[in-house]
Structure 1
Amino acid sequence: MQRRDFLRLTALFPLGAASMRLLAADGRAVAPVEKMPDGRAHRFELSAQQFLLDGRPFQIRSGEMHPMRIPHEYWQHRIRMAKAMGLNTIAVYIMWNALESEPGVFDLKTGSRDFVRFIQLCQEEGMWVYLRPGPYVCAEWDFGGLPPYLLREKDIRVRHKDDAHYMQAVKRYLDAIAPHIAPLMTAKGGPILMVQVENEYASFGNDLDYLKQLQAMWRERGIEGPFSISDGLGQIQKEKTYLPGTVLGLDGDTDFAAAQAIAGEAPVWVGEGYPGWLTHWGDKDFQRGDYTDTLRKLLEQGRSFNLYVVYGGTNFGFTAGANANGDYSNFEPVITSYDYGAPINEAGEATPDYHRFRALIGAHVTHPLPDVPAAQKLMAFPAAMARPYASLWENLPPAKAVARPQANELLFAQDHGMVLYRKTVRTGGKLAIDGVRDYATVFSGGRYLDYVSRVHKPGLREQQHVAVPAPAGDAGNELDILVDSFGHVGYGQAMADRKGIVGGVQLEGRELQDWQAYSLPLDEHYVAGLKPLQIKPSRPGVFFKATVTLDRVADSYIDMSAWDKGYVWVNGHLLGRYWRIGPQQRLYCPASWFKAGDNEVLVFDLHRTEVASIRGFEHLHG
Structure 2
Amino acid sequence: MLRRDFLRLTALTPLAALSVRSHAFPVSTGRVVGQIPDGRPHRLELKAHSFMLDGKPMQIRSGEMHPARIPAEYWLHRIRMAKAMGLNTISIYLMWNHLEREPGVFDLHTGNRDFVQFIRLCQREGMWVYLRPGPYICGEWDYGGLPPYLLRKPDIRVRNKDDPDYMAAVQRYIDAIAPLIHSLMAYNGGPVLMLQVENEYASFGHDLDYLKQLQALWEAHGIRGPFTISDGLGQLQQQHTYPPGTALGLDGDTDFATAQTIAGEAPVWVGEGYPGWLTHWGDPDFQRGDYVATLRELLQQGRSFNLYVVHGGSNFGFSAGANAKGDYSHFEPVITSYDYGAPINERGEATPDYHAFRALLAEHATQPLSDVPAPPAAIRFAAITPVAHASLWDNLPAPRAAKKPQANELLFAQDHGLVLYRRKIPAAAAALTLDGVRDYATVFSDGHYVDYVSRVQHAKLRAGNRVELPVIVDGKTSQLDVLVDSFGHVGYGQAMADRKGIVGSIRLGNEEVEDWNVYSLPLDEGYIRQLKPVVSEPSRPGIFFKATLRLDQLGDSYIDMSGWAKGYLWVNGQLLGRYWNLGPQQRLYCPASWFRLGDNELMIFDLHQTVAAPMHGATTLHA
TM-score range, shorter chain: over 0.9
Rate the CA distance shift 1:232–1:2 in 2: closer, same or farther, 3 A.
farther
How far did 1:17 drift? 3.2
What amino acid is aligned across from residue 17 of structure 1 in structure 2? S
> Counterpart of 2:532?
531
Secondary structure of the residue aligned to 2:74 is helix
Secondary structure of the residue aligned to 1:468 is coil
Matched, 1:14 2:15: no
> Counterpart of 1:160?
160
- Partners of 1:428 and 1:513 in 2: CA distance: 18
Rate the CA distance shift 1:102–1:455 in 2: closer, same or farther, 3 A.
same
Secondary structure of the residue aligned to 1:171 is helix
How far did 1:377 drift? 1.0
What amino acid is aligned across from residue 14 of structure 1 in structure 2? L
Contact 2:331 2:456 in 1 (8 A): yes
> Counterpart of 2:385?
385
Contact 2:248 2:267 in 1 (8 A): yes
How far did 1:32 drift? 4.0
> Counterpart of 2:453?
452
> Counterpart of 1:26?
none
Mapping of residues 116-135 of structure 1, within 5 Å: 116-135=116-135
Mapping of residues 490-569 of structure 1, within 5 Å: 490-569=491-570
Rate the CA distance shift 1:619–1:228 in 2: closer, same or farther, 3 A.
same
- Partners of 2:480 and 2:47 in 1: CA distance: 67
Runs (5+) with no aligned partner, structure 2: none
Matched, 1:465 2:468: yes
Mapping of residues 305-320 of structure 1, within 5 Å: 305-320=305-320
> Counterpart of 2:397?
397
> Counterpart of 1:207?
207
> Counterpart of 2:424?
424
What amino acid is aligned across from residue 515 of structure 1 in structure 2? W
Runs (5+) with no aligned partner, structure 1: 24-28
What amino acid is aligned across from residue 553 of structure 1 in structure 2? L
Contact 1:20 1:301 in 2 (8 A): no
- Partners of 1:486 and 1:619 in 2: CA distance: 25
- Partners of 1:256 and 1:438 in 2: CA distance: 41
Task: Report Cα offsets for 1:476-535 as digits up to 9, x if no partner.
Answer: 111000000000000000000000000011110110010000000000000010000122
- Partners of 2:291 and 2:12 in 1: CA distance: 9
> Counterpart of 1:359?
359
Rate the CA distance shift 1:280–1:30 in 2: closer, same or farther, 3 A.
closer
> Counterpart of 1:345?
345
Contact 1:326 1:492 in 2 (8 A): yes
How far did 1:143 drift? 0.1
Secondary structure of the residue aligned to 2:287 is coil
How far did 1:2 drift? 4.5
What amino acid is aligned across from residue 362 of structure 1 in structure 2? A
How far did 1:222 drift? 1.3
What amino acid is aligned across from residue 593 of structure 2 in structure 1? S
Task: Report Cα offsets for 1:170-203 as digits up to 9, x if no partner.
Answer: 0000000000000000100000000000000000
What amino acid is aligned across from residue 439 of structure 1 in structure 2? Y
How far did 1:22 drift? 5.7
Matched, 1:603 2:604: yes
- Partners of 1:195 and 1:256 in 2: CA distance: 21
> Counterpart of 2:149?
149
- Partners of 2:167 and 2:516 in 1: CA distance: 35
What amino acid is aligned across from residue 464 of structure 1 in structure 2? V
Contact 1:20 1:303 in 2 (8 A): no
What amino acid is aligned across from residue 144 of structure 1 in structure 2? G
Deviates more, 1:167-176 or 1:364-373: 364-373
Contact 2:574 2:594 in 1 (8 A): yes
How far did 1:366 drift? 1.5
Rate the CA distance shift 1:369–1:432 in 2: closer, same or farther, 3 A.
same
- Partners of 1:11 and 1:564 in 2: CA distance: 40
- Partners of 2:483 and 2:78 in 1: CA distance: 40
How far did 1:471 drift? 4.0
- Partners of 1:294 and 1:612 in 2: CA distance: 45
Task: Report Cα offsets for 1:321-374 as digits up to 9, x if no partner.
Answer: 000000000000000000000000001000000000000010011111000001
Task: Report Cα offsets for 1:186-242 as digits up to 9, x if no partner.
Answer: 100000000000000000000000001101111011111000000000000010100
What amino acid is aligned across from residue 610 of structure 2 in structure 1? T
- Partners of 1:7 and 1:517 in 2: CA distance: 46
Contact 1:22 1:32 in 2 (8 A): no
Rate the CA distance shift 1:264–1:461 in 2: closer, same or farther, 3 A.
closer
In the superposition, the TM-score normalised over structure 2's length comes to 0.97
- Partners of 1:469 and 1:31 in 2: CA distance: 72
- Partners of 2:232 and 2:578 in 1: CA distance: 31
- Partners of 1:382 and 1:107 in 2: CA distance: 38
| CA RMSD across the alignment | 1.5
Secondary structure of the residue aligned to 2:183 is helix
- Partners of 1:154 and 1:240 in 2: CA distance: 30
- Partners of 1:513 and 1:18 in 2: CA distance: 65
What amino acid is aligned across from residue 526 of structure 1 in structure 2? Y
Mapping of residues 428-443 of structure 1, within 5 Å: 428-443=429-444
Secondary structure of the residue aligned to 1:113 is coil
> Counterpart of 1:478?
479
Contact 1:203 1:231 in 2 (8 A): yes
Rate the CA distance shift 1:37–1:140 in 2: closer, same or farther, 3 A.
same
- Partners of 1:213 and 1:356 in 2: CA distance: 42
Matched, 1:50 2:55: no
- Partners of 2:242 and 2:587 in 1: CA distance: 42
> Counterpart of 2:300?
300
How far did 1:472 drift? 3.0
What amino acid is aligned across from residue 560 of structure 1 in structure 2? M
- Partners of 2:343 and 2:13 in 1: CA distance: 16
Contact 1:292 1:357 in 2 (8 A): yes
How many residues get paired? 614
- Partners of 1:324 and 1:279 in 2: CA distance: 14
Secondary structure of the residue aligned to 2:238 is helix
Contact 2:445 2:473 in 1 (8 A): no
Task: Report Cα offsets for 1:149-176 as digits up to 9, x if no partner.
Answer: 0000000000000000000000000000
> Counterpart of 2:102?
102
Contact 1:136 1:199 in 2 (8 A): yes
Contact 1:62 1:307 in 2 (8 A): yes
Secondary structure of the residue aligned to 1:354 is helix
- Partners of 2:592 and 2:380 in 1: CA distance: 12
Contact 2:203 2:231 in 1 (8 A): yes
Contact 1:20 1:50 in 2 (8 A): no
> Counterpart of 2:220?
220
- Partners of 1:613 and 1:366 in 2: CA distance: 53
